[in-house]
Structure formats: structure tokens, C-alpha cells
Amino acid sequence: MENKEKEAKYKFCKSCGKKINEEEDFCSKCGQKVGEETKPNNTKKCKKCKEEINFKAKKCPNCGATQGMPVWAVILIVFLSFIVIVGVFSGDEELNSEQNDRYNHSESNGNSSDNSNKKEEKSESVDPTANWTIEQKNCYEHALRYLDTNSFSKKGLIEQLEFEKYPKNIAEFAVSKVEENNLVNWDEQAELKAKTYLEYSSFSKQSLIEQLEFEGFTTMQAQKAVEKVYK
């Protein structure tokens, strides 16, 4: 009997789903006042029972359904990520020719005389990585390979390179050199990332902006990208 009485004194927060004491006025997890309806702009509908729940709730307090992407969408994203990783590490031969196109810049010098035609222009190849360490070169090449196969924010690319075990200062150096050589446009990267999300799931403008910010894009980059894809 005592156990039943104790269980009857507990209920679930309508905002985040946390089990709380019936006598408490506020939820200890999200701060929501017990019995108070969540504000419209902070709520969403449960995908299963369609009841209004807190926007950040990961589990419906009414029916217990887990919120988030459909299982098929998660599987698809994992599958595509696997393809991307395979593509990154299988492109070593193609990378060598791409490096020559990016790294080799020719400087033409021509001299002309009063009584003769212009002489043939001579070009000299300059390698901008000549004074770099081996690790800096490898990290720079790795960054270019990632940008060829996927879209990243500046922060996201640096974190990805750190995940590949490059030191943070080396990763930041590599990404800064990619920027200096005009090999990336972060606004375009944000737009590509937004289009990718919309291909596999549905988002409101605000939720898509927040998703892009989560990926490391600035608020301005995220807003510009969403405005373009929703035209």
C-alpha cells in the first residue's frame, strides 16, 4: 500500500517528460511550471499521437514515442556517409593530378624588342606548399578531398580534420590556406548542406537554420542559405 501511495505522488513534466514529484511546482530538468502549457513557439506535435509537446523533447510524455528523424532517414544518412568515406580514401590516384592543377601556378615572362616579334613566354611553376611541413601538406590535401565529396562549415571542416588525428593548429592552418587560395565559399557550402537535408527530410525554415548552425555555420550563413533554398 505504501509503494502505491508513493507512485501516485509522481507525474511526468508535459514539457520534457521527466518524472517529477506531484508536489513540486517546477520541473527540475527544464524549469517548466507544472501544469502550465508550453508556449506555441516552443512546441511541436508528437509524430505518433499528435499531442503538443516541448520542441526539444526527445520523447513524448503522453505516448512515450521517440521523436526525431524516421528510421529510414537515419539509415540512409549513415549509408551515404559510408559512401563518402569510401570515396575519400579511394581517390589517391586522382588526387595527384588534382594537386598539380591546384598547386602549379605559372608566371609568364615575355620580352619584346623594337625590331623583332615577341619572344616565347616562359613559365615557372611555383609550389605554394614548398615551405610547409609534411603534416601541413597532408592536412591541406585532406581538407580539399573532403570539400570535393561533401559540404562543410569552416568549423565543421576543422573538427573533421581533428577527428582524423591532426592537431588543432595544423587543421586551422590547412583550412586557412584553403580560404586564401579561394578554394571554398562558406555561403555555398551552407546552401549545399541545406539542400542535402531537404532531400532526405522535411524542415521548417527555423528548424533548418538551427540545424545548419549545429553544423557550425554562422547564423548569417544559415539564414542566407535557407532563404535561397526556399525560393
* Cα–chain center distance at 183: 18
Residue of 142, 158, 146, 152 whose CA lies nearest to 187: 152
Q: What is the pLDDT of residues 167-226, one digit of tens each?
A: 999 999 999 999 999 999 999 999 999 999 999 888 998 999 999 999 999 999 999 999
Place of cell 544518412: 77
pLDDT at position 63:
81
pLDDT tier, 69 (very low <50, low <70, confident <90, very high otherwise): low
Asked if 226 and 212 touch (Cβ cutoff 8 Å), the reply is yes
Q: What is the pLDDT of residues 74-91, one digit of tens each?
A: 687 878 877 877 766 665
Which tops the pLDDT comparison, 118 or 20? 20
Asked if the model's pLDDT at residue 114 lies above 60, the reply is no
* Three-class DSSP category at 218: coil
Secondary structure (DSSP) of 156-213: HHHHHHHHTT--HHHHHHHHHHHHHTT---HHHHHHHHHHHHHHHS---HHHHHHHHH
pLDDT at position 178:
94
Asked if the model's pLDDT at residue 64 lies above 70, the reply is yes
Q: How far apart are CA 193 and CA 180, in angstroms?
A: 22
Q: What is the pLDDT of residues 127-162, one digit of tens each?
A: 778 899 999 999 999 999 999 999 999 999 999 999
State the distance between the two ends of the chain, measured CA to CA, in whole angstroms: 62
The helix (H) or strand (E) run that includes residue 5 is helix 2-8
Q: What is the pLDDT of residues 35-58, one digit of tens each?
A: 654 444 467 777 678 777 776 666
Q: How far apart are CA 68 and CA 74, in angstroms?
A: 9
* Three-class DSSP category at 217: coil
Q: How far apart are CA 15 and CA 35, in angstroms?
A: 10
pLDDT at position 40:
47
* Exposed / middle / buried, residue 19 (Cβ in 10 Å: 0-12, 13-18, 19+): exposed
pLDDT tier, 5 (very low <50, low <70, confident <90, very high otherwise): very low
